[in-house]
Chains A and B, each alone.
Chain A
Amino acid sequence: MGDGKISQRQLAYLFFTILIGTMFFYNPQIVVGTTGQDGWIAYLIATFWGILVALVIVALGRRFPDKTLTAYIPHIIGKPLGKILSLLYTIWFLFIGGGLLAQFANFMNTTIMASTPKMVFIITFVAIAFYAVHSGLEVVVRVNELLLWVIVIATIMVVILPWELMDLRRMLPVGETSIGRLLATSLIAGSWRGEVMMVGMFLPALITLKNTARNLIETVFLVGVMLIAVEISLVTVFGAHLVGDIEVPVFALARMISTARVLDRLEALVLIIWVLATFVKICAFLYCTAQATADTMGFQESRFLLLPISLLFTAIAYNQTVDPAKFIDFLMLTWPGYGLLSFQLVIPLLLLVIASLRGKGEKRL
């Protein structure tokens, strides 16, 4: 969108927000619920998956430096098949973005604004995101440069402030969970980290591709460190067997804060993280969907697509209301299939193999 370019730092910041933003809301409930106090090992493996995704997508991007992911797919596997895959990616962006919005509205309803209609949250967010993306990608990344620090500081506060209730011995024993279960859980956790795949849509907007892989790996790793900190804080405060039973455990963690009887009732911190990060993520998904649609359909310009796509986001988010048990089931059983096992890791990896075998694109690494 627009002709402006973004810097390496802005890209890294953007993906930091995208990766950390929403994943520690429903994710710890699932990860700690299945692996107990060993959740941090699952997160460590998930970090490895994330790094792998980043490496693959950047290697692909280096072969087609001026094209987005959905634009170069037909160059690799031929036009008819490539267009279909591009379309599938477009639909992926659309549905995951819409789902994110639905999840946001659901979270607001679950936690503090129980009686506010979902449509209020959805429309507000789509409207703001539309306005931001319509102004250009540079606007989004610049806003994010400000928001990221708020998110990081709020996260650190949520993690550290319940220290009075922490019992570090609850992290023991280490390595009780079987390797198979850890790997399976890491696929769930890694499917959030695999969203770094979206960087394929942003690479052409970069001023230079130098150091992109290193920066993204650092981002994925730092996000992993923060998630492990969140997991440790949750387990030491609640105990591993309790975290799986709590809806949105991070919010519960913030509710526990009562430090020195001064810092009290700091749930707002979690809401700050969630609202700001959702905003940035919706912007990113809106941008990706519009760009992918334009690429698939062969349009030169994508800005005019933003309005219809925003409406689609609204419609999908509003109609994606499912019961909470189904929602967690989706995240546990279906999401890894949509994520790491297909669109995030496996398909890009296959594309990379095919591209290098057929010698497509530029061969510099």
Chain B
Amino acid sequence: MKRLLAFFLIITCSLTAGCWDQIEIIDLALVIATAIDKGDDPDNKVVLTIQVANPRMFIPGEGGGGDGEKAFWTATGTGKTIREATFGISHRVPRSLFFGHNRLMIVGEEVAREGIMPYLDRYFRSRETRPNLYILVARGRGQDILETNMATFRSSGMALINIFDLGNNHTVVPVRLVQFVYDLTSACQAAVAPMVQVVVQSSVSIEEAKHASRLQTLSVKGLAVFNSEGQMVGEMNETETAGLLWIRNWAEKHQLTVPCPIESAKASVDLDLMGSTSKTRVEIGEDGIPRFDIEVRTVFDVGEHFGNHMGMDQSWYIDSLAKRANTTIAREIQAAVSKAKALNADVLGFAEEVHRQHPREWEGLRNNWSDIFPLVEVTVSSISEISTRGMSAENPDNSLKVLK
């Protein structure tokens, strides 16, 4: 009996070839980025563009692009749903589309302005796509973003993914789909997503300049603001984005340029952020309208002193820089607040803070938050500290100037 069983097991194991749903990697079309747009055809409104990595190009010693095969290519399909558009594409692609490596969702501006909600379902329902992919809004059409031939990178999708993988870098704010949907469905009912646009590549080699089509690149700049209906209602510029980063405690790699305390008009000092924390305290006023006190604590390093005089050795000068940093941070925060109020989109996470800190009062505010939010008052207290001044104490050409 045992011998029979052992024999049976060995035979079974040796005859089994592999998994049930197995597909060779060569037969896969690895989708790394998707873009959704709105089409002109009223029956097929969803236009899906995918950017596909050619797996053959990543196998050493094979392919290598010799026979004109590209490492990345894009394809577009239309349909009533994203899924239908996907099948539309697969009619023309000789490989099985695989969305497991899709890390980017680009939303065309038209779709964003009309309302993004119906487009989100597929990204959560799919077995392959992961909801931690990055979402961003294209200025113009998303298709154009993916079809951009970049001079600096093999694939526009990979380039954007690489930018976002660096984290919160100055005012580039990577937003993952889960974060986006969390914000949109939380008490705040508003969310932001970074915006991307096609711009002209500024520096190219002479050879590249001959091909006009290669003179393009992508630029991630500003934030698109979505309201409770999932419609894009406006944009935040870089100052406002910086303010949002301070309020939401998202600032990581950041930089401030403040006027020099001595020659404020002519010279500037650059401060690099070493670390920051921010807290939002909520007090409910007697009129029932919440007041927010935002406390930002930051530590800076002097990155550059763009001037020709001394000062860095003076403690008052360093103090003054810290004060100027405080002023700048407060200004950025107030800019973000007034923009959010103007758009009536609580992208600053204020509603969540009221909900967390005053759950009882929140019950009364919950239903008319959109009426109350534009009325809230915000005070900022920023405490900056300058801990280091980089690798040099003073400007090199300051020998003749003596400071009193």
Contacts and interface: CB of A to CB of B under 8 A. Distances in A.
Do A and B truly interact?
yes
Interface of A: 111-116, 120, 165, 169, 172-173, 175-176, 237-239, 241-242, 245-246, 252, 255-256, 258, 261, 265
Given A173-B356, A241-B185, A265-B100, 13 more contacts: A113-B20, A114-B127, A165-B132, A172-B357, A173-B359, A238-B182, A239-B182, A242-B178, A242-B182, A242-B185, A252-B131, A255-B132, A256-B178
A255 B131 contact: yes
B339 interface: no
A115 B356 CA distance: 44
Contacts of A116: 20-21
A115 B100 CA distance: 17
Nearest to A255: B130
Contacts of B352: 169
Contact of B181 (A111, A112, A242, A252): A242
Interface centre among A111, A245, A255 (most CB of B within 10 A): A255
Contact of A112 (B127, B132, B185, B186): B127
Contacts of B185: 239, 241-242
A289 B359 CA distance: 49
A115 B124 contact: no
A9 B20 CA distance: 39
A344 B239 CA distance: 61
A252 to B, nearest CB: 7
B375 to A, nearest CB: 23
Given A237-B178, A239-B186, A255-B130, A169 B21 contact: no
A111 B21 contact: no
Interface string B124-144: 100100111000000000000
B297 interface: no
Contacts of A238: 178, 182
Interface string B352-363: 100111010000
B38 interface: no
A169 B356 contact: yes
A349 to B, nearest CB: 36
Contact of A176 (B176, B178, B182, B359): B359
Given A112-B127, A113-B21, A173 B355 contact: yes
Contacts of B357: 172-173
A181 to B, nearest CB: 15
Contact of A111 (B124, B127, B182, B359): B127
A116 B20 CA distance: 7
Secondary structure dominating the interface of A: loop
Nearest to A267: B130
A301 B182 CA distance: 57
Contacts of B176: 165
Contacts of A265: 100
B21 A256 contact: no
Given A111-B127, A238-B182, A172 B356 contact: yes
Nearest to A169: B356
A252 B130 CA distance: 8
Contacts of B178: 165, 237-238, 242, 256
Contacts of B124: 245-246
Contacts of B100: 265
A245 B132 CA distance: 16
Contacts of A173: 355-357, 359
Contacts of A261: 165
Contacts of B359: 173, 175-176
A258 B21 CA distance: 25
Contacts of A111: 127
A159 B132 CA distance: 16
Interface string B328-360: 000000000000000000000000100111010
A120 B20 CA distance: 10
A113 B132 CA distance: 21
Contacts of B132: 165, 255-256, 258
B355 A241 contact: no
B182 A115 contact: no
Nearest to A162: B132
7 contacts: A114-B127, A115-B20, A237-B178, A241-B185, A242-B185, A258-B132, A265-B100
Given A238-B178, A241-B186, A115 B21 contact: yes
A256 B182 contact: no
Contacts of A245: 124
Interface centre among A113, A169, A173, A246 (most CB of B within 10 A): A173
Nearest to B21: A115
Nearest to A131: B5
Contacts of A258: 132
Nearest to B176: A165
A28 to B, nearest CB: 16
Nearest to B363: A176
Nearest to B355: A173
B242 to A, nearest CB: 21
A242 B100 CA distance: 22
Contacts of A255: 130-132
B354 to A, nearest CB: 10
Nearest to A239: B182
Nearest to B165: A261
A179 to B, nearest CB: 15
A241 B124 CA distance: 15
A327 B373 CA distance: 41
A316 B357 CA distance: 50
Contacts of B130: 255-256
Interface in B120-169: 124, 127, 130-132, 165
A113 B127 CA distance: 10
A161 B77 CA distance: 37
A238 B355 CA distance: 17
B282 to A, nearest CB: 12
B244 to A, nearest CB: 16
B318 to A, nearest CB: 34
A157 to B, nearest CB: 17
A247 to B, nearest CB: 8
Contacts of B182: 238-239, 242
Contacts of B165: 261
Given A165-B178, A173-B356, A237-B178, A114 B21 contact: yes
A226 B355 CA distance: 27
Contacts of B20: 113, 115-116, 120
Nearest to A174: B359
Interface string B170-196: 000000101001100110000000000
Nearest to B179: A165
A173 B351 CA distance: 12
A188 to B, nearest CB: 23
Contacts of B21: 113-116
B163 to A, nearest CB: 15
Interface in B340-393: 352, 355-357, 359
Nearest to A111: B127
Nearest to B125: A247
